[in-house]
Structure 1
Amino acid sequence: MSADTAAFSYDGGRVHPGETAHIRYTVSETYLGEPVRMPVTIINGVEDGPTCFLSAAIHGDELNGVAAVREVAHEWDHTDIAGTVVCLPVVNVPGFVAQERYLPVYDRDLNRSFPGHPDSTSSRRIAYDVWRNFVEPCDFGIDFHTSTRGRTNAFHVRADLTDHGVADLVEAFGANIVFDGEGQSGMLRTEATDRGIPTITVEMGEAHRFQREFIDQALAGVHSVFGAYDIEPNATPARPEWRTVVDGWAEKTWIRADAGGIVEARFEPGDVVHEGETVCEISNPFKTESVEMTAPFTGLLVGTLENPVVSPGNPICHLVELSPETRERIEAQRVPAAAD
């Protein structure tokens, strides 16, 4: 393969094999006509291999993925990288600057705007430039997210397991919890997968902060993928100790407050809760009256409230059903999975 055919090209530049480029790519303009520029790092290995993207902060206040992608781009040794790694640590630059989930002013969700359009809304124009230059040339991708503000997520993957390429990517990433589904129209993972670029979403923790535990889990997943796809010759694909897939059969619900007050949680994300157990207690300021919220079925807590005050109807925690086999494995101190 010649140097030209192995180069990674984008509007305005080209990164040749053996090169790493740190660029600020213009995706929009401010009211003053100044450029809005997205940071991008492109690592093109000397050896031939797949091209992948790692993206974060499509929702501007979701920061754990920002730390993970930056660490891959700037702290990992890329000497022996095979293929090309496209690092997009902050996709939604206006939202990131404002520390808001959506694009400011127009309040549009950038993650419902892909693959975008050059003659449409501001969000779809940004999505189009990101898509055409940095997503469309790739063979697969990993998109990092957190919960929205005021809530937190257990570490899990969202993916369309009916797509064989996505299923392989999920297996390589090695997460314990997988939500199986196509996703919504306009989502980066949905649109990329539909166009032959298998992509998964990684959900981890909460907005507006760095959480080292989740960042390290994300980096371990990327290492595992790089090993499985021969991007890093010395990386070893991971095998999780246990796994549960939440799909159409699984019952799932947000447990919502039946009273207003202050919440005292009994469990954390990732815990198994049995049917009838008290998930939390809601009490008034004097603790003279309280309401216990119980689990309607045995399941795994994958999301919980962070702000411990509620009104009736507010979501408190997200509970998903586990298969009996998975429940037994988790409760048996997470016995390692048997080798194939």
Structure 2
Amino acid sequence: MAEGAFTYNGGKVDPGETQNIRYGISETYMGDPVRIPVTIVNGTEPGPTAFLSAAAHGDELNGVEVVRTVAHDWDHADLHGTLVCLPVLNVPGFLAQQRYLPIYDRDLNRSFPGSETGTSARRMAHRIFENFVSPCDLGLDFHTSTRGRTNMLHVRADTRKDEVERVAKAFASNVVIGGSGPDGTLRGEASASGTPTVTIEMGEAHRFQRELIDRALAGVESVLAEFGMRRTSAVRWPGWRTVIDGSSAKTWLRADTGGLVDMHHDGGDLVREGERVCTITDPFMTESETVRAPFTGLLVGVLENPLVYPGNPLCHLVELDTSTRHALERDLSRDAPA
């Protein structure tokens, strides 16, 4: 619980103060500094410290706009606590518009909590983690799907931990996928070290998708309300929610043949067991493979690039319990054109 200045190696931000910082985390081949943008907003009233981060993968842009908007467009007169806004973690990847760090193709989001004496990626991760993640009481890390695929907005979190589950549910997405995640992820390592953190997946790489950005901003506002950081805001309820845990069926459907894919559903659609999800055809359209749903569920992620080799992922399908399925069906019927 923050009651005074937010401090980092090289400076501090007093209550009632906002600072925009370009913080050095590495050096280029020429010895020039690699700096990440950081905005720290310290409210006049005491409260929790929360970090918002994006672009750990340099081509994932939706979260960049979420974090920038919170930092620079929101009115923080009512802020109780401190916001640490990190819109671009992977600056080298962001500049090159590629997913990984150009240095040896390292994944920054498999390098946390980092090391002072490790690889380039781990040294960068260490400086970010120690200065701007460890001091926080909770965190939201924004991602998109990788190139050629798209995700509906959902949260990934280790829901076995009560405080992490609290953050996940406060974000008010319809879908929460449980699990600790791979080693070295920001949300996993932060949660393990005492800063409950979730990943928000939303949309696709290389673009801003305004509808998703606006929904994510509403989720941020809900989280800050839940933790008493915005007293004039309210915690949201998404209307229906499913938490996918270890007992739930979930699978990536994969292509068994190469070819061109015709997807018959979009992300967020409900598909029933045995229903046709997509069709794969050869260039002459003389041979085709129909891919069907192995169980009734929700399409969380789908292919955007229609070209596949055998083994390429087509869609991410998660099982829904009966009550959640009925709630989703009611939503879909309300949204259907008259």
Q: Verify same fold: TM over 0.5.
A: yes
Query: Does the aligned pair in 2 maintain the 1:146–1:207 contact within 8 Å?
Result: yes
Return the offset for 1:26.
0.4
- How big is the alpha-carbon RMSD for the aligned residues of Structure 1 and Structure 2? 1.6
Superimposed CA distance per residue, residues 91-123 of structure 1 (whole angstroms, 9 cap, x where no aligned partner): 011111111111113111111111111111111
Return the offset for 1:202.
0.4
Query: Does the aligned pair in 2 maintain the 1:205–1:214 contact within 8 Å?
Result: yes
Partner residue, 1:216: 214
Partners of 1:256 and 1:182 lie apart in 2 by: 24
Matched, 1:327 2:329: no
Partner residue, 2:229: 231
Which amino acid in the other structure matches residue 24 of structure 1? R
Of residues 124, 147, 150, the one that matches 2:148 is 150
Return the offset for 1:257.
1.6
Partners of 1:123 and 1:329 lie apart in 2 by: 44
Gaps of 5+ in 1: none
Query: Does the aligned pair in 2 maintain the 1:241–1:334 contact within 8 Å?
Result: no
Which amino acid in the other structure matches residue 106 of structure 1? Y
Return the offset for 1:29.
0.4
Return the offset for 1:312.
2.2
Of residues 296, 299, 303, the one that matches 2:297 is 299
Return the offset for 1:166.
0.8
After superposition, the Cα gap between the structure-2 partners of 1:93 and 1:299, relative to the gap in structure 1 and judged at 3 Å, is same
Query: Does the aligned pair in 1 maintain the 2:271–2:293 contact within 8 Å?
Result: yes
Superposed, which structure 2 residues align to 1:162-201 within 5 Å?
Answer: 162-201=160-199
Partners of 1:296 and 1:224 lie apart in 2 by: 35
Number of residue-to-residue matches in the alignment: 334
Partner residue, 1:100: 98
Superimposed CA distance per residue, residues 2-59 of structure 1 (whole angstroms, 9 cap, x where no aligned partner): x9x6001111111111110001000000000000000000000000110000000011
Q: Secondary structure at the match of 1:41?
A: strand
Partner residue, 2:125: 127
Partner residue, 1:76: 74
Partners of 1:311 and 1:126 lie apart in 2 by: 35
Partners of 1:36 and 1:321 lie apart in 2 by: 43
Partner residue, 2:84: 86
Of residues 260, 269, 274, the one that matches 1:271 is 269
Superimposed CA distance per residue, residues 234-264 of structure 1 (whole angstroms, 9 cap, x where no aligned partner): 1111011000111111111111123222211
Partner residue, 2:238: 240
Partners of 2:171 and 2:311 lie apart in 1 by: 36
Query: Does the aligned pair in 2 maintain the 1:165–1:198 contact within 8 Å?
Result: yes
Partners of 1:73 and 1:54 lie apart in 2 by: 9
Partners of 2:194 and 2:103 lie apart in 1 by: 33
Superimposed CA distance per residue, residues 111-158 of structure 1 (whole angstroms, 9 cap, x where no aligned partner): 111111111111111011001110111000000001111111111100
Partners of 1:69 and 1:310 lie apart in 2 by: 34
Of residues 315, 320, 324, the one that matches 1:317 is 315
Partner residue, 1:24: 22
Q: Percent identity?
A: 61
Which amino acid in the other structure matches residue 232 of structure 1? R
Query: Does the aligned pair in 2 maintain the 1:50–1:229 contact within 8 Å?
Result: yes
After alignment, is 285-294 or 32-41 more displaced? 285-294
Normalised to the residue count of structure 1, the TM-score between the two structures is 0.95
Return the offset for 1:73.
0.6
